Structure formats: C-alpha cells, structure tokens
C-alpha cells in the first residue's frame, strides 16, 4: 500500500501549522517537529524502496542469483590438507 506524496506533504503542513500555533510551548513544538521528521523519513524510505525495485527491473532478477552462485562456489572450494591445519578457519597456520 503506497501513500501518495501529496498526502504525506499535506500531513507535514498540518503538523507545522500545529507547531506554529503552539510556539510558546517548546515541548509541544518539538513533538510536532518529530512528527514531521517521521513523515519525511517514511517518504524517503518509500522512495528508496522504489529505487531498489527499479534497480532489480533494470539489472534483472538473474544478476543477483548469479552473484550468489559465485559466492557459494567460492565457499565450497576444498582446502588443502596440511598436517598442522585444524580446519577451514582463517586462523589456521
């Protein structure tokens, strides 16, 4: 479910108006400003999710799976058996 940018901006304006009406009370103003910040964060995160979906569309779903396969193949390369080695740890000398 996507909330339109216009709705988010309208909510931000409402919070700013409420903050302007209560300028004499710093605590109330801070709460309204926090609400605006939260709305900004939600709007920016939604844009980031859209960018990730766009990236997957441009690159293709197969690109991510190819990268994962390469990492798995590298991880399964057998190590040489050495007399002093204890296993696959990077700290084996």
pLDDT in tens, 29-88: 999 999 999 999 988 887 677 667 766 777 776 555 555 555 555 555 555 655 555 666
What are 73's two structure tokens? 């193949």
Say if residues 32 and 22 touch (Cβ distance below 8 Å).
Answer: yes
Domain spans of the chain, in order of start: 5-59
Q: pTM of the full predicted structure?
A: 0.50
Distance of CA 75 to the CA centre of its chain: 27
**What SS3 string covers the chain?**
CCCCHHHHHHHHHHHHHHHHHCCCCHHHHHHHHHHHHHHHHHHHHHHHHHHHHHHHHHHCHHHHHHHHHHHHHHHCCCCCCCCCCCCCCCCCC
């Amino acid at each position: 479910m996507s909330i339109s940018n216009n709705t988010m901006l309208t909510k931000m304006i409402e919070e700013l108006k409420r903050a302007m009406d209560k300028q004499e009370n710093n605590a109330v103003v801070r709460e309204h400003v926090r609400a605006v910040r939260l709305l900004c964060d939600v709007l920016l995160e939604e844009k980031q999710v859209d960018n990730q979906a766009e990236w997957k569309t441009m690159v293709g779903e197969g690109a991510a799976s190819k990268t994962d396969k390469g990492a798995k193949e590298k991880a399964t390369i057998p190590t040489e058996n050495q007399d002093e080695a204890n296993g696959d740890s990077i700290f084996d000398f």
